[in-house]
Chains A and B, each alone.
Chain A
Amino acid sequence: MEIIMSVAIGFLFMAAVYLMLSKSLIRIIIGTGLLSHGAHLLLLTMGGLGGNSPPVVAEGVSVSDYADPLPQALILTAIVISFAVTSFFLVLAYRSYQELGTDNMDLLRGTEDYE
């Protein structure tokens, strides 16, 4: 199972890098979304996948037989943060498109304002 997850994470990172290297702003934003998905899955996998075992130590469950709850807490926090950042990024992209009239990163270099 860990192997499959690792392949999926690697694929997500690859797709994210490909999308982030393109010129269109909306593709870049989708790329950042995929990148954070990859990082979150990595967090979950690195904590060790628990299979069917419950993430709580209750009566009758030995310590060796339960899933580590910490990666799940961490991933939840990270998901909330990346959700907030992605929504901010989308609003920013929309507003920049209105103001600047383009979503092409080549035209957003800003060299004309610099010396």
Chain B
Amino acid sequence: MSNLLLFPIIIPLFFATILMIFPKRLKFQRIIAAIAAGTTLIAALFLLAKVNADGVQAVTLGSWPAPFGISMVSDPLSALLVVTTSIITLFVVFYSFPTIGVKREQSYYYPAVIFLMVGVNGAFTTGDIFNLFVFVEVLLMASYTLIVHGGEKPQLRESIKYLLVNIISSALFVAAVAFLYSVTGTLNMADLAVKIPQIEETGILTVIAVMFLMVFGFKAAIFPLYFWLPGSYYSPPIPILALFGALLTKVGVYAIMRTYTLFFTMDIAFTHELLGIIAILTILAGCVGALAYFDVKKIIIYNIIIAVGVILFGIAQLNQPGVDGSIFYLLHDMLIKASLFFLVGIVAVLFGTSDLRKMGGLIKTYPFLGWTYLVAAFGLAGIPPLSGFPGKLLIVQGGFEGPQFWGSIVILATSLIVLLSAVRIFIYAFWGEPVETVPLKKSVFNQMFIPTVILVAITVVFGVGAELFMPFISGAGEVLLNPSIYIDAVLKE
């Protein structure tokens, strides 16, 4: 028993509370926000090392015995996700300095970002399904603040819809938890994994599993529940968009991953096949959107939906390459989406618009930006040796080994569409006749560009050095495929 796994939740909570006391001091806000994200990252790295060395870590709060208290569990998957979340929050904080504007910075922008990190890290770490609901509400509350932050007209209009969709999904979450509790009599995930196989009537459990798929599907933006995402994500400024695109949908994906490997495994032929079909439909729906728009933000937003489909398809196969691939692709996608949003943010600032048809010729004035974008775009599409490749390779392999080989063919084919949609931005914005750009001070440009380049470099390292990271990934996959490791860690304290 180690309290280390609580630090990535408590540290940002502490700093966010301090930040709320002095909203007007700009320098203080920036420094403390960076320190909060940095120390959380250090704690998360320690946690990852500890989990890697000693196996799954579990704490049950208040010294209650395991199924009765609220368990917090850190297995390799959640430790990896907490590390990635902390990295992304740190870079978003740095990227916010020049882009978000002083007025926003002085009205509780950084506390909301750090509170969002509290919720996301908590949701990744918790081992209790009702506690998952609470942490999801924490991060949603922070995201409500961020999506409407600044109070521009489109933001107000879109945040109403975002709020309504999430309230409905939260009510469904409570209802699904109620059904699950009445059938099993427990809400501890490890205990659920013990109790559910003992229940003979699997029909009702399948219904509950599909209800949870709907609840998490709202958050993860799967087909056909993704309708709210393109509009809502379009309205806030770029740093907030990067934070949302990288983290929020991934919480839903993680929750599906966890529940569908740990305890909703009583009727795999139905639930996992359904998940696989929905995943493929999600990819196709995302592809249509990614090709349909001439707006850089919209194109990358639809790429979020495609990636969600790819990750869930790997999980639906429930075999070793599929699950390993999903975990790798999930981490890759969080990093690459944040860096792509940073890059299109810089492009949009330079042209003063996000419409591709009003752009052109940027490669002449900002060549390094162009090549960085191209590397990130190739990483997104999964061109070897960049980071999209190993994950997609394993997911496709998992599909061919599983029953849904046709899904692998769709993923391979849609990779080309992803490449086309990302390269289209390159062709329109960087090639062609130079269009007049907004004059930008060199120092401001560097402040935006340096965090972006470092983040892209991290994704390159993640792809080229995939062999280095594979032990962590396959360790995480092993826990997902053998729930007994997870159960033993929680219940045998």
User: A residues engaging B (CB < 8 A)?
Assistant: 20, 25, 28, 32, 35-36, 38-40, 42-43, 45-48, 70-71, 74, 77-78, 81-82, 84-85, 88-89, 92-93, 95-96, 99-100, 108, 110, 113, 115
Contact = CB atoms under 8 A, between A and B. Distances in A.
B130 interface: yes
B420 interface: no
Contacts of B130: 74, 77
Given A42-B178, A47-B181, A92-B160, A35 B295 contact: no
17 contacts: A25-B160, A35-B167, A36-B171, A38-B171, A39-B174, A39-B175, A40-B174, A47-B178, A71-B181, A81-B170, A85-B137, A88-B141, A92-B156, A92-B159, A92-B163, A96-B160, A99-B151
Given A20-B164, A39-B175, A108-B160, A92 B182 contact: no
Given A39-B174, A71-B181, A32 B167 contact: yes
A45 B133 CA distance: 19
A104 to B, nearest CB: 12
Contact of A39 (B140, B161, B178): B178
A95 B156 contact: yes
Interface string B176-190: 011101100001000
B224 interface: no
A41 to B, nearest CB: 9
B75 interface: no
Interface size class of chain B, counting residues whose CB lies under 8 Å from the partner chain: 35 or more
Given A35-B167, A42-B178, A85-B144, 18 more contacts: A28-B164, A32-B167, A32-B168, A35-B171, A36-B174, A43-B181, A46-B181, A74-B130, A77-B130, A78-B133, A82-B170, A85-B141, A85-B170, A89-B167, A92-B144, A96-B156, A99-B156, A113-B154
B174 to A, nearest CB: 4
B160 A93 contact: yes
Contacts of B161: 108
B231 interface: yes
Given A28-B164, A32-B168, A38-B171, A88 B144 contact: yes
Contacts of B295: 115
B160 A110 contact: no
Contacts of A20: 164, 168
Contacts of A43: 174-175, 177-178, 181
Contacts of A100: 153, 156-157
Nearest to A34: B171
B158 interface: yes
A81 B167 contact: no
Given A36-B171, A39-B171, A74 B177 contact: yes
Contacts of A42: 174-175, 178
Interface in B202-258: 231
B297 to A, nearest CB: 11
Contacts of B181: 43, 46-47, 70-71, 74
A49 to B, nearest CB: 11
